[in-house]
Amino acid sequence: MLAAIASVGRARMRADQDGGTGTICFSATASFGLSAGLFGIGALTLRRATAARELPYAAIPMLLAVQQAIEGALWLVLPEQLDGILQEDRALVTIYLVFANVLWPIFVPTAVWLIESSVVHRKRIMIPLVAGAATSLFYGAALIMQPVSAEISGSHIDYHLPHSYDLAAFALYAIATCLAPLLSSHKLVRLFGLALIISMIFAYALYTVWFASVWCFFAALLSVVVFFYFVRRDVPGTIAETVRQ
């Protein structure tokens, strides 16, 4: 999800390409295939939402499906190993980065906060919610003020969003998107947060340069946990895993 973290490890690009540290190859087919599957899961998940406050959390798979479809389109139009891209291609890059850098930091903690019934947990989630708001504003300003670009590199898409404060921005991003689910009283929401952290570490360790693309792909796969949250909640005789304090 986070394009900026790629700049922290951009010096590793040549080593990654030559040494083959990346073991998974991505493509338009992979992005479109995942998008199609998520559209189906997303539709089923949204149908299970029974209250307005549940809609943002239920919408996560569907929004990730849209994001993967955008990346699939980028696979078809981006030139390989070239910095220059057409204006219409740049628009797709910008839309993708709006999802990755601006939407998710504020959307995830807000969605988790809305489904939380425990007053204590809602107060705790305010910390990643504030961090997410700051992160979204920061990247929103960067998208307005800085030129963006992307290129196909090493069987992945490398996004470029120039800005300062890489590590601070990444820390706030992680707090917003990963800590918020972990602070939930719902077990399956916490599982989603744990899965996001594990996938973040994996993506950064093996795909630093292409982190924005790879982690979003993994997060899209993991969003099926959101569907199972609603499935478990609706099982007769069970109650959503909530601790009321």
CB atoms within 10 A of CB 29: 10
Which runs of E-coded beta strand occur in the chain? 149-153, 156-160
Confidence band (pLDDT; 50, 70, 90) for 152? confident
Least confident of 50-59, 89-98, 102-111, 228-237: 228-237
Q: Are 154 and 13 in contact (CB under 8 A)?
A: yes
Q: Which two tokens stand for residue 92?
A: 């797709």
Partners of 150 in beta bridges? 159
Q: Measured in whole angstroms, how far is the alpha carbon of residue 157 from the centre of its chain?
A: 15
What kind and span of H or E run contains 66?
helix 60-77
* Alpha carbon distances (Å) from 198 to 42, 137, 153, 226: 23, 26, 24, 17
Q: Which one, of 84, 75, 128, lies nearest residue 106 by Cα?
A: 128
Average pLDDT across the chain, whole number: 81
Least confident of 6-15, 24-33, 54-63, 170-179: 6-15
Q: Measured in whole angstroms, how far is the alpha carbon of residue 43 from the centre of its chain?
A: 19
Confidence band (pLDDT; 50, 70, 90) for 156? confident
What does the pLDDT average to over 115-141? 95
6 or 224, greater pLDDT: 224
Each residue of 7-50: pLDDT tens digit?
Answer: 434 434 433 443 334 445 578 888 899 899 999 999 999 999 99
Q: Which one, of 69, 197, 212, 235, lies nearest residue 149 by Cα?
A: 212
Query: What letter does residue 17 receive in the DSSP assignment?
Result: H
What does the pLDDT average to over 201-226? 77
Confidence band (pLDDT; 50, 70, 90) for 106? very high
Alpha helix positions (H), the chain: 13-19, 28-48, 55-58, 60-77, 87-97, 104-115, 119-145, 166-174, 180-182, 187-206, 211-222, 224-234
- Per-residue pLDDT for 84 more than 90? no
Confidence band (pLDDT; 50, 70, 90) for 91? confident
Q: Which two tokens stand for residue 235?
A: 């099982």
24 or 186, greater pLDDT: 186
